[in-house]
Structure 1
Amino acid sequence: MNSPRNPTLIFILLLLSACSYLHFQSFSSEILQDSMVPLKQLPFNSSFSLIPCFGFLHSLPPLNSSSENLTDIFLIDPAAIRKLLKNCRISLSLPLSVMIPKQKAEIDINVYNVTFFTDKGDYLQLNSQPERVLLKQDYQRIGPLLVPVDLQKFLEFYDRSRFIPCLNLDMRRTDTGRRLPENFENKLALVRDALIVFGAFPFLHGGTLLGWYRECSIIPHTFDGDFAVLRREYRPQMHDHLKSQSGFRLSRRLGREYDSLEFTVKTGFRTGAPIDIFILYDQDDNRVYSHGLHTATGRRVKYIYPRARGFCSGILGGKLFFVPCNAEETIAADYGTQWAKDHPTSSYNWMKSGANVVDNGVFTKEEMKMLVYESNL
């Protein structure tokens, strides 16, 4: 037989619960409305209000012993951020990895493991081993810490942040005139950001990857830019989003989503410079491929590449771009062992010149009608 319930006791318990909830909401609101550091504007926000260990973060000491000149402390600890994403079911461990602007500061090494950074405009350069470069993000203040607003996106950026320097080879060209506009790297960065909105992390591909790695620049005689996106990151909504971006238009879409897609955006009308975006598909456990299509004949080819052994970051025209960590192996698959030598774009046949080209059949005329979109605008 159940014991009789005491109405007065129930009322008191309900009142205490309501007061606790209101106090927690007030505490959460205080945190969420604290100052924002607009390092990089990104569209997604993660809600912090229900994470139980935020009280712990709020109680951490400042980096400086002096309260007159407090140093901003940016949380960059991947293990801690993964725990925040999991609602702190496992307690945070000290010291926490953080970054601060490159300046003198008194550091409590028992609480913080400090890395200095330099603001490079598009990205932050971390004085770490290995050297890292991070795309900028929004941060939100929690006590003394500045925590990434989008925790998952920070982890994606951090996982790709190991810096790879380019070779800066002297190509000894007689004709150094550049076919693409001088601000083309800025256009590439805009496409990068537009794709990141959809959870894709485009990386340099083809001739753009070669130019970055070999000579730290766009190849002067090339006529377009190249990105690749992994199939699992592709979203059909990307096309509409790119079309809606000021200064961009979708000029071409070729192939099928599940095995042969590529599309092209241009940075202006009619005379705009094209940027090709290739979707990479699994070939086998160790290799991936992108697709090529000859629109006049329907002939199809595959370009076979070694699977990326992780993704890193390189700098092109002052902008950060993701690259395969095994960049040289990827380039050699495309251009063979003589990739360090210059070959004019005008003499390169993209259907057969590549070292990794494999025939892949033919689309019928009926298939071509459905699978090819080209705009003359």
Structure 2
Amino acid sequence: MRYSSRIIFLCIFAAFILGVILMLYIIISTSSISYKSRIKNFDVISAFRRKSKPNTKVSLLTIRKCLDLLPQPNFTSLIIDTEILQNIIENKCRKVSRAIKIALHDKMYQELKRSDQLGRKFSIANFSYPEDTDYMRFHDDETGRFARIIPRIKIRSCGEYQVPADILLFLEYWKRSRYIDCLNLTVERKPMEQVLDPVISVMHLAELRNMFVSFNMYPLLNGGTLLGWYRECSVIPHTTDLDFSVKYDEFDISIIEEFWKPSTKFLMNRRLGMPNDSFEITVSPVDNPGYPIDVFVMYDETNHSYVSGTNHIGMKFRYKYPLYDRYCSADLKGKLFWITCDPEGVVKVNEY
């Protein structure tokens, strides 16, 4: 009897050990599958990773060699001539017979203009750093109009000439720099409490914009956020989230990995669709999760652009826009954001 009890005890103990081993195996396997699924998912979409930004850091010697071929100004001048800057990147320096496009700080520009020292060898614009903004503002040299804005940049000095420290980034900024103003309309609506504070909203949008720029992406205001800027120069009072879009040909899926890092400023709340036709994510600031930002990938077809959406039951739909083939800049509460150059057309088509 005692011998039988011992056998039963050993059998129960062995079964317990086997159960523990099986449970551990299931846990480890599940974790492994989850990890492998994540890796597999990224293998599937690895084709949508963009090439890393080319190394365009140009030596000071190369810059000086190019600038020595140009007429020399008698005043500190920022080169904004895109052809010359592109030649510097490609190390294809040559003399030019036309007027060179440069920009002077507003104070110097006014002084030289009064003394008639600007000369004819240069096409001159003036720029300033408006208070309480994150951008540089350029005025057209002929009309004096407030014509362009770009994010503030670092500058390298080479004698009287100055060049952008990151020339390629400057060129990307410049081709999106044409300024469009908002309408600043008064919208009649019932009194309501502002859901998202406009100043805090644009602060988080600007932080996310900078993060995307570091991956060579230039996000656009989209959806209700575009409407709020265009119509009211602000954030719509009743909106509960913010909207960005990124063009498909710029989109770099590897930014997703940034949202997993312990140091991230934004957490990814959801990810829907595939990058080739219907991708969107929602992120929110780590320290302010009540300000979610939807980021849509924008795709071009022959006659229109579109972003995809997904409703609460998983059904996909599309928002169509006039073809996005040019990009402009806007001010929203002192922050620079990129927009379509046809905001009226986009807003009318979608009837927000």
TM-score normalised per structure 2: 0.74
- Residue 220 of structure 1 corresponds to which residue in structure 2? 237
Q: Deviations over 1:227-257 (max 9, x none)?
A: 1101111111111224546432111111111
Higher helix share: 2
Structure 1 counterpart of 2:224, one-letter code: G
Deviation, 1:119, is: 0.4
Question: Offset of 1:90 from its aligned partner?
Answer: 4.5
| Percent pairwise identity | 32
Match of 2:186 in 1: 170
Asked if the contact 1:139–1:147 (Cα under 8 Å) also holds between the matched residues in 2, the reply is yes
1:304 paired residue number: 320
The one-letter code sitting in structure 2 at the alignment partner of 1:57 is L
CA-based RMSD = 2.4
SS state at 1:301 partner: strand
Q: How far apart in 2 are the matches of 1:189 and 1:220? A: 19
Helix, strand or coil: the match of 1:229?
strand
1:117 aligns with 2:127: yes
Counterpart for residue 25 of structure 1 = none
Q: Secondary structure at the match of 1:191?
A: helix
Deviation track 1:250-292 (CA, whole Å, cap 9, x = no partner) reads: 111111111110001101358431011000112x212121111
In the other structure, the counterpart of 2:101 is 97
Match of 1:179 in 2: 195
Q: Which runs of 5+ in 2 are unaligned?
A: 1-52
Q: Counterpart of 2:296?
A: 278
Asked if structure 2 preserves the Cα contact closer than 8 Å seen for 1:117 and 1:125, the reply is yes
Distance in 1 separating the partners of 2:97 and 2:89:
15
Displacement of 1:55: 2.4
Partners of 1:314 and 1:323 within 8 A in 2: yes
How do 1:1-377 and structure 2 match up within 5 A? Answer: 46-49=56-59, 54-58=64-68, 61-64=72-75, 72-88=76-92, 90-103=94-107, 104-106=110-112, 107-120=117-130, 121-128=133-140, 131-181=147-197, 182-244=199-261, 246-268=264-286, 271-282=289-300, 284-295=301-312, 297-335=313-351
| TM-score, with structure 1 as normaliser | 0.70
Question: What is the letter of the counterpart of residue 177 of structure 2?
Answer: S
Secondary structure of 1:277's aligned partner:
strand
Cα deviation digits, residues 104-161 of structure 1 (max 9, x gap): 3334423332211120231111111561111111111122111112222111111111
In the alignment, the residues of structure 2 paired with residue 330 and residue 136 of structure 1 have an alpha-carbon distance, to the nearest angstrom, of: 28
93-102 or 222-231, larger mean C-alpha shift:
93-102
CA contact (8 A) 2:138 2:148 kept: yes
| Unmatched 5+ stretches in structure 1 | 1-42, 65-71, 340-377
Match in the other structure for 2:49 = none
8 Å Cα contact 1:46/1:149 also seen in 2: no
